[in-house]
Amino acid sequence: MWPFSRKKNDLVTVSLTPQNITCSCINTGEQTPVLKAYKRIPLKHLEFAQAIPFNQTKLSKEIALFLTEHQLHDVDLVLALSGPKIFETVITLQESSPERSDFDFPGMQEMNWNFAYLCPSGRNGFDFFVCGMRQEHLLSYQLLLHRCKASVATITAGKLAYLHLYKNIKGASFRQSELSLDLLHHRYDLTSLVNAELLAKSIEIHPNLQLDLTTEHTFLSQSLGLFFSERSV
């Protein structure tokens, strides 16, 4: 939800959590998007503890290595962030078209934040996805990506990607009323909106990639959601 300039054609997604960094390159295919390259690297030495890039050198090297290994020189890069310092939640309000002043959550005065309408709420009222981060943290993420020498398309909150994935997989059949029921069914766990079976039908995986969707489902779902947020298929 923090867009920057878009200059190139290929799209690389990078997801950062305190536990993992996940990189992917997804292209538009004839029927479904095609996963061209993918790598998930565990973070074991507090490189991104609390969602703060304490070791920018390590993180930028991993991203740059992925780009080099797959000869991804002319790309837009979209970065998704999750962790304690990234605020992301679903808030229920009684107004369907609220003003920013209608929102109230901890630390909002110090954050660069935004919101998006989701659907009528199963909890009565209307559901909104709200995400934010402190301005100094946003600048540190920009610096991290600058080290990778990639064109930054967007920096966004990680959970928002799952909503983009859900909406794009539903396509013309998407209904806000169904999203409302699904959010209730999954107890507002956005990572569970699309299961592994549906994910497998929604993306073509290059034959050279051997992925176990049982373990990579959540990570690849986010990557595909980021792709949908930036590209029309």
pLDDT in tens, 176-199: 999 999 999 999 999 999 999 999
Lookup result for tokens 């009323």: 177
Closest CA to 118 of 202, 181, 194: 181
What is the CATH classification number for the domain harbouring 34? 3.30.420.40
Model confidence, pTM = 0.93
CA-to-CA distance for 206 and 222, rounded, in angstroms? 18
Per residue in 107-131, pLDDT (tens digit) is 888 999 999 999 999 999 999 999 9
102-107 long-range contacts (CB < 8 A, ≥24 apart) are 103/128, 103/130, 105/130
Residue 128 lies in a domain: no
Residue 113 lies in a domain: no
What b/e sequence results for 30-58 when a residue is b if at least 16 CB atoms lie within 10 Å of its CB, and e otherwise? Answer: eeebebbbbbbbebeeebbbebbbeebee
Residue 103 lies in a domain: no
Residue 120 lies in a domain: no
Of the listed ranges 15-24, 138-147, 181-190, 197-206, the least confidently predicted one is 138-147
